Amino acid sequence: MHNAAVSRIGILGDIHAEDEALLAALRHFERDPVDTILAVGDIVDGKGSVDACCAALRAAGAIVVRGNHERWFLHGDMRSLPDSTNAADISTSTREFLATLPVTHRLATVRGDLLLCHGMGEDDMCTVRPDDFGYAIEVNDALQALVRAGDVNLVVSGHSHRRMVRRVGSLTLVNAGTLFREHAPCFGTIDLCAGVVTFFERRGEAVVTAEVVDLPRR
């Protein structure tokens, strides 16, 4: 599934144990094939099955990075959160999978290198929101470091639970949103040859197109 330079990408935002929504997204990617599937982390802490989510991601060959919720879980932090995942809730193989997740992953695409992360680069608590402009962008150190480095063209991230496509300096930012049932759940595809990002939502048993956004021109 992982080509040398991919052009069509499935994107999964913060999962939060939503195994049924995740399986629906993965079935959609089977029907409408992609070159690779990217997941931004935050698999744990939710109402569904973390074991089922991790098994499905492994079976799909998805590229997954660690979110802040995995970091908290692995260190035993923030376990008083609502619907928090505890060590006894998951299998040993799931814990091992979570422990191996990298903070970031770089991927070659037909439009140059893509950086997959949870927040912004190495900072899993940083994000760029659709309504961040001016000073909020200028003082976003993690974002500005990526802009200055200039070695990636596209960043796919999550954390804010708000889907987004926008340009900041030399970077195209795509926020994959979330599968969390209370925050406008969605997933998407990036078609780099067509230059569009398509977001999908579940409505009952159906998956429908929610929004199609043009990728900013370079």
**Does residue 3 fall inside a structural domain?**
no
Query: What tens digit of pLDDT does each residue of 148-200 get?
Result: 999 999 999 999 999 999 999 989 999 999 999 999 999 999 999 999 999 99
- Give 204: exposed, middle or buried? Use CB within 10 Å, 0-12, 13-18, 19+: exposed
Instruction: Give the C-alpha distances (Å, rounded to integers) separating 23 from 52, 57, 69.
Output: 9, 9, 21
User: At 200, which CATH number?
Assistant: 3.60.21.10
Residue 178 in 3-state DSSP? strand
**Does residue 66 fall inside a structural domain?**
yes
Domain extent at residue 154: 8-214
**Does residue 44 fall inside a structural domain?**
yes
**Does residue 63 fall inside a structural domain?**
yes
- What is the total count of domains within the chain? 1
Tokens found for residue 57 = 């991601």
Query: Which residues lie across from 199 on neighbouring strands?
Result: 188, 211
**Does residue 67 fall inside a structural domain?**
yes
Confirm if 41 and 64 have CB atoms less than 8 A apart. yes
What φ, ψ does residue 43 adopt, rounded to 5°? -75, -35
Tokens found for residue 179 = 């599968």
Q: Which amino acid is located at 197 in the chain?
A: V
Residue 1 has pLDDT above 80, yes or no: no
Q: What is the CA radius of gyration of the chain?
A: 16
Residue 218 in 3-state DSSP? coil
Query: What tens digit of pLDDT does each residue of 30-49 get?
Result: 999 999 999 999 999 999 99
* pLDDT for the residue 165: 98
| Residue whose structure tokens are 């970031």 | 104
Helical pair 50-60 and 19-31, crossing angle rounded to 10 deg: 20
**Does residue 123 fall inside a structural domain?**
yes
pTM over 0.85: yes
**Does residue 1 fall inside a structural domain?**
no
CA pair distance 173, 47, nearest whole angstrom: 29
**Does residue 173 fall inside a structural domain?**
yes
